[in-house]
Amino acid sequence: MPQRTVPPSRPSPQSWDRPPEEAEPSAPFSAPPCDLEAERSVLGACMHAREAWDEIQQHLEAADFYRPAHETVWRALSHQHHNGDPADPIALIDALRTSGDLERVGGPAYVQSLATLSHAGGSSAYYAQIVRRMADRRALQAAALRAAQQATDPGVEPERVRTELETSVRDGRERANAAGGSRLARYATDGWSFITDTGADTEPLWGTREQTAWAEGESLMLVGPPGVGKTSLAHQLLLARLGVYAAVLDLPVAESRRALYLALDRPPQIARALAQGLGPADEPKLRDRLAVWSGPLPATLDKEPHLLAELAAAHRADTVVIDSLKDAVSKLTDDEAAIAYNNARQHALREGVQLLELHHQRKATAEAPRGQRPVLDRVYGSTWFTSGAGSVLFIAGEAGDPAITVHQLKTVTGEIGPLPVIHNHDRGTSYVEQSLDPVTLLRSATDGLTARELATALTGEATPARGDVERARRRLERLVKSGLATKTEGAAGGSGGGNQARYRPSARHLTAAS
């Protein structure tokens, strides 16, 4: 926001109803830098006007508040606003009471005192800048104290101290270390809650529990050479998240509340591609539930790890599409940049943001032999990009070719594909070519199929690789488990070695197909 030379009037000091266990800092150097009046003013403004919240939350996050009670109130405000619920004092007191936090923040009287502050018109964003500036100073203070302690330790190399201090100054916002133990522990949980409440039993964002293409809380990366339909597939997933489609590539997609599309490269081309197949009936959803950022970000995500989550919060988005990583990270081949980006990715995921990332393959392997299964090494850049991703889908094919193949290189549950896919460029949609669908192949085979025969049909290779055979076997086993196929064990030592079990369509499936 523009710099202001004359600050607005500040709220006059009042007799605050403080939580009994908290005390004001008594002198500038006896406590970390803070401005509690500015914190109170910000919280009060957010209770009265949605417009104030929309502006302030672009500058702040919960960890920026010095007083733990203020951080708790901010989180409650965020929950109310993001859910579209009232955030006035009465509603906020009820929300804090429901969560068990009301007495910890000072009770109803303290919440009411925040709401009754007098605010100069248009000053809330100015106070938010004060809160943010104080948080940054606390971060720098903590970094300086840590560096001073390390500098007196004979076992620590001076270069290490210098590097860590420079990193702290560049990032500017080491919130966890700056705010004390309560902040350090705010994302921790007990072991039982961790294994039962981390989403292992939730429905996927895209796919089924048996075949998950995009899991909640884990990013999905779409990879491929230019012109094979990455953007088209990403748009279909985006529109499905907005409720325009129910499924993509025959796999169901869960609907979201609101999405942010980072059109970082060639926004006009992205706009033309997104417009395919849409009409006036789709206008309300696109206006209300989709925000698009056009052009470069204010900083690359490896340089500002908090920026991704902040962008999502600013636009109230629970889904973010990054098109593409080459425009969001300063140097894709640099391991440190990739690790820093993964930090940004995980920070956003921790805040409940679902990520869809578009990325490119290595140019040197663009002309891979037909039928050869791509591997993670074909993804361009540092290996840490794919290491931190939840699912990686690779789109293989020629630029402009309507027929492509989708491979899942990194799985969440059961592997998906390879899927033979046909793009309808006029409508911006894609569908699975049923002639190469395992169920269709099984039904058309005179005497069923072995895993090796299915692998040959799917890859086009007379001698499929061992991994392709094993993947075909798993797909056939899933058909048996779902009742669509039966399995007859073969004799050991058959063609190709091993037990050549043969799979045939079940009677129920044949009846349904006819």
218-253 pLDDT, tens digit each = 999 999 998 888 999 999 999 999 999 999 998 999
Predicted local confidence at residue 500, as pLDDT? 83
CA-CA distance, 350 to 300, in Å (whole number)? 20
DSSP state letters, 68-85:
HHHHHHHHHHHHHHHTT-
Percent above pLDDT 90 for the chain: 37
Residue 463 confidence (pLDDT) above 80: yes
Instruction: Say yes or no: 475 and 373 in one domain.
Output: no
CB 323 within 8 A of CB 261: yes
CA-CA distance, 183 to 63, in Å (whole number)? 7
Q: What token pair was written down for 399?
A: 């630029």
Instruction: Say yes or no: 447 and 504 in one domain.
Output: yes
Average pLDDT, the chain: 80
Instruction: Say yes or no: 399 and 447 in one domain.
Output: no
Domain-located, residue 142: yes
Residue 275 structural domain: 206-432
Domain-located, residue 1: no
Q: How confident is the model at residue 494 (pLDDT cuts 50, 70, 90)?
A: very low
Based on the structure, what is the number of domains in the chain? Answer: 3
Residue 514 confidence (pLDDT) above 80: no
Instruction: Say yes or no: 422 and 443 in one domain.
Output: no
Among residues 432, 449, 472, which one ends one of the domains? Answer: 432
Instruction: Please provide residue 420's backbone torsions phi and psi, each rounded to the nearest 5 degrees.
Output: -75, 120
pTM: 0.57
Q: What token pair was written down for 246?
A: 């129910």
Instruction: Say yes or no: 499 and 400 in one domain.
Output: no
Q: Any residues with CB less than 8 A from the CB of 6 and at least 6 apart, and which? A: none
Domain-located, residue 30: no
CA-CA distance, 479 to 481, in Å (whole number)? 5
CA-CA distance, 388 to 335, in Å (whole number)? 12
Predicted local confidence at residue 198, as pLDDT? 60
Q: How many CB atoms lie within 10 A of CB 281?
A: 8
Predicted local confidence at residue 51, as pLDDT? 82
Percent above pLDDT 70 for the chain: 80
DSSP H/E element including 393: strand 391-396
Residue 250 CB burial class (10 angstroms; 0-12, 13-18, ≥19): exposed
Range 93-105 average pLDDT: 89
Instruction: Say yes or no: 115 and 239 in one domain.
Output: no
Instruction: Say yes or no: 455 and 345 in one domain.
Output: no
User: Which letter does DSSP use for residue 287 in this model?
Assistant: H
Instruction: Say yes or no: 453 and 420 in one domain.
Output: no
CA-CA distance, 84 to 79, in Å (whole number)? 9
Instruction: Say yes or no: 402 and 489 in one domain.
Output: no
Predicted local confidence at residue 483, as pLDDT? 83
> What's the maximum distance between 2 C-alpha atoms anywhere in the chain?
89
Q: How confident is the model at residue 108 (pLDDT cuts 50, 70, 90)?
A: very high
**What single-letter amino acid sits at 273?**
A
Omega prior to 193 cis, within 30 of 0: no
Range 273-285 average pLDDT: 89
Predicted local confidence at residue 63, as pLDDT? 82
Range 62-85 average pLDDT: 87
Using DSSP bridges, classify how beta strands 391-396 and 220-223 pair: parallel, antiparallel or unpaired: parallel
Domain-located, residue 12: no
